[in-house]
A and B are shown apart, each in its own frame.
Chain A
Amino acid sequence: MFVDRPVGIDLGTTNSEIAMLDPSERDLHIYADRFGRRTVPSAVAWDPKGEAFLVGHAARQRRGKTPPPIESIKRKMGQAALVEVGPHALAPEEVSAKILAELRARMSEHLGKQAAEGIEVRVDRAVITVPAYFDAPQVEATRKAGEMAGLDVIGVLQEPTAAAIYHTWKSRLGDGNFLVYDLGGGTFDVSILRCLGGEYQVLAIDGDNYLGGDDFDRRFAEKLRVMLVARGYALDLDVRGDEADRQRFSRLVHLAQEIKESLSTSDVVSVSKQEFMQDKNGEAVSFEGDVGRADYEKAIGDLVETTITCCERALARSAETSSVDLGQIDHVVLVGGSTRVPMVVRRVMEAICKKSRSEKPLQDEVDTCVALGAAIHAAQLGGLRIGDPERKITVGFTTPLVSQGAKIRLGVRVEQAPEGAAEIAILRGMSGAEEITKAALPDATDVVVRLDVPLGEEPEHASRVALRSVEREVLAELPFALYRGDVRPRASALSRPSVVAKDLAIEVVRAGRRERRVLIARGAGLPAEVKSRFFTADQSGAVVLRLLQNRMPIKTLLLQVPRELPVGTPVDLTLRCDDAMRMEARAVVAGQELWAQVEPPAAPRFDPAGAVESLLEEAEATNKSLWGMSAQSYRAEADMLVAGIREVVATDPDKLQALCEKLRLLVDWYRGDKNEALSPPMARFQEELDGLRRRVYRASGNIYGMDRVAWEKRLADIEARAAAAYEASDAVAWRRVFNEVQALDETAMQEEFAQMRLDDPAYLERRLRNERYFAQSVERKLVDFVPSSSDVGALQTTERDKLVAQLHEKALEPLKNLTSDTTDAGALRRKLEAINAEISRIDNASERLPSLGLVTERGGA
Chain B
Amino acid sequence: MTDERENPFERFDLDPREGPRAITERLRELAEDAGEAERATIRAAWEELTLHPLRRLRAAIGARPRHPALDRSGPEHAPPKLRKAAAEEPVGLADLAPRPSVVQALASFLSRGAERGPKAVLSLDEDPVLAAGAPSSDPAFAPTSPERKR
**Distance in angstroms between the alpha carbons of A736 and B40 in the assembled complex:** 41
Docked-complex contact A404 and B24, CB < 8 angstroms:
no
**Distance in angstroms between the alpha carbons of A197 and B54 in the assembled complex:** 20
> Closest CB of chain B to A213's CB: distance in Å?
33
Q: A199-B24, A493-B31 are in contact. Are A405 and B113 (CB under 8 A)?
A: yes
> Closest CB of chain A to B105's CB: distance in Å?
17
Docked-complex contact B113 and A176, CB < 8 angstroms:
no
A323 touches B (CB below 8 Å): yes
Docked-complex contact A450 and B146, CB < 8 angstroms:
no
A496 touches B (CB below 8 Å): yes
Docked-complex contact B21 and A525, CB < 8 angstroms:
no
Q: Which of B43-51, B59-67, B96-104, B122-130 contacts A (4 or more CB under 8 A)?
A: B43-51
By Cβ-Cβ distance, the 4 closest A-B pairs, closest first, are A197-B24, A493-B31, A175-B146, A322-B52
0/1 string, B115-138, CB within 8 A of A gives 1:
100000000000000000000000
Closest to A357 in B: B149
CB under 8 Å from chain B, chain A span 618-641? none
Q: Looking at the complex, which one of B31, B42, B46, B54 makes contact with A323 (CB distance below 8 Å)? A: B54
B39 touches A (CB below 8 Å): yes
A72 touches B (CB below 8 Å): no
A845 touches B (CB below 8 Å): no
18 contacts between A and B (CB under 8 A): A175-B21, A175-B144, A175-B145, A176-B146, A196-B21, A197-B21, A201-B50, A201-B51, A322-B52, A330-B149, A357-B149, A399-B32, A404-B111, A404-B113, A406-B113, A494-B28, A494-B31, A496-B43
**Distance in angstroms between the alpha carbons of A460 and B54 in the assembled complex:** 46
Q: A175-B145, A201-B47, A525-B43 are in contact. Are A196 and B24 (CB under 8 A)?
A: yes
B20 touches A (CB below 8 Å): yes
**Distance in angstroms between the alpha carbons of A197 and B146 in the assembled complex:** 10
Residues of chain B with a CB closer than 8 A to A777's CB: none
Residues of chain B with a CB closer than 8 A to A201's CB: 47, 50-51
**Range class of the A interface residue count:** 20 to 34
Closest to A525 in B: B43
0/1 string, A399-410, CB within 8 A of B gives 1:
100001111010
A61 touches B (CB below 8 Å): no
> Closest CB of chain B to A187's CB: distance in Å?
27
Residues of chain A with a CB closer than 8 A to B31's CB: 492-494
**Range class of the B interface residue count:** 20 to 34
Residues of chain A with a CB closer than 8 A to B4's CB: none
**Distance in angstroms between the alpha carbons of A493 and B145 in the assembled complex:** 20
B53 touches A (CB below 8 Å): yes
Residues of chain B with a CB closer than 8 A to A494's CB: 24, 27-28, 31, 42-43, 46
A177 touches B (CB below 8 Å): yes
Q: A201-B47, A525-B43 are in contact. Are A177 and B146 (CB under 8 A)?
A: yes
Docked-complex contact B115 and A406, CB < 8 angstroms:
yes
A265 touches B (CB below 8 Å): no
**Distance in angstroms between the alpha carbons of A450 and B32 in the assembled complex:** 11
A597 touches B (CB below 8 Å): no
**Distance in angstroms between the alpha carbons of A525 and B54 in the assembled complex:** 20
Docked-complex contact B146 and A330, CB < 8 angstroms:
yes
B25 touches A (CB below 8 Å): yes
**Distance in angstroms between the alpha carbons of A155 and B21 in the assembled complex:** 27
Docked-complex contact A196 and B146, CB < 8 angstroms:
yes
CB under 8 Å from chain B, chain A span 166-194? 174-177, 194
Closest to A195 in B: B146
B33 touches A (CB below 8 Å): yes
**Distance in angstroms between the alpha carbons of A725 and B47 in the assembled complex:** 33
0/1 string, B55-79, CB within 8 A of A gives 1:
0000000000000000000000000
> Closest CB of chain A to B58's CB: distance in Å?
13
0/1 string, B5-48, CB within 8 A of A gives 1:
00000000000000011001101100111100001001100110
A321 touches B (CB below 8 Å): yes
**Distance in angstroms between the alpha carbons of A321 and B51 in the assembled complex:** 7
Residues of chain A with a CB closer than 8 A to B110's CB: 405
Supplied contacts A196-B50, A357-B149, 9 more A-B pairs, CB within 8 Å: A174-B146, A175-B146, A196-B146, A197-B24, A198-B24, A201-B47, A492-B31, A494-B28, A525-B43
